[in-house]
Amino acid sequence: GESVGLHLPTLSVQEGDNSIINCAYSNSASDYFIWYKQESGKGPQFIIDIRSNMDKRQGQRVTVLLNKTVKHLSLQIAATQPGDSAVYFCAESTGSNDYKLSFGAGTTVTVRA
Amino acid sequence: ETGVTQSPTHLIKTRGQQVTLRCSSQSGHNTVSWYQQALGQGPQFIFQYYREEENGRGNFPPRFSGLQFPNYSSELNVNALELDDSALYLCASSPQGETQYFGPGTRLLVL
């Protein structure tokens, strides 16, 4: 069956450094990928998305890279700030009629001052 | 803030009881999806409603049911509550087929 998972459950980053969060997926039919950030006690917050016809997309301080050959997705955060401390989830969808999202277990990012 | 609201924020129930959770979607969004998030895990898709009809369902038993109203708000109903139903219940709204934006969730504890 399909699964979406992150390579590492935790990541500790020095403030000001760049962060890279990785995600592997197994469903080759997946064609839409999203990164969400979830802070304690809150719902997931949309960060950035990418469709399978692209391999890179940039936002404000964030970049998502998609490698369909090895079914790998990554989120890069530039100049990590204390407010970036949260759990990060990648989610994927096959773009089928219900557009359901399948989430991995998440990576907890802790920013050291 | 996404504009998606959920009520109540917290709820305590006992086994066997029934619960109704509510979600108001962001203005202009006609699709609502519900997810269950157990502690330390990613959200799991329960079902989706589009124009008042169920439009896809995850691996959840029939005692999980829902409704969507003409104003696109939605309810999640869970009957015969079990201890394992304790979780954060999230709703997400979107235009059909587009990015889903989540509400803050309802934390349900079943004793």
Rounded average pLDDT over B52-67: 95
pLDDT band (50, 70, 90) for residue B97? confident
Q: Which residues of A56-65 are buried (b: 16+ CB within 10 A; e: fewer)?
A: eeeeeebbbb
- Pick the more confident residue, A55 or A98: A55
Q: How far is A22 from B76, CA to CA, in rounded Å? A: 33
Q: Would the CB atoms of B56 and A102 count as touching at under 8 Å?
A: no
> Which residues partner with A50 through β-bridges?
A33
Structure confidence by residue, pLDDT tens digits, B18-54: 999 999 999 889 999 999 999 999 999 999 999 899 9
Residue with tokens 């401390």: A85
List the structure tokens of B32. 């609502």
Structure confidence by residue, pLDDT tens digits, A29-87: 899 999 999 999 899 999 999 999 999 999 999 999 999 999 999 999 999 999 999 99
Q: Would the CB atoms of B99 and A98 count as touching at under 8 Å?
A: no
Q: How far is A82 from A47, CA to CA, in rounded Å? A: 16
Residue with tokens 């450094």: A17
- ∠B27-B33-B38 over CA atoms, to 5°? 125
Q: Which of A101, A102, A108 to mutate to test the interface with B (most CBs of B within 10 A)?
A: A101
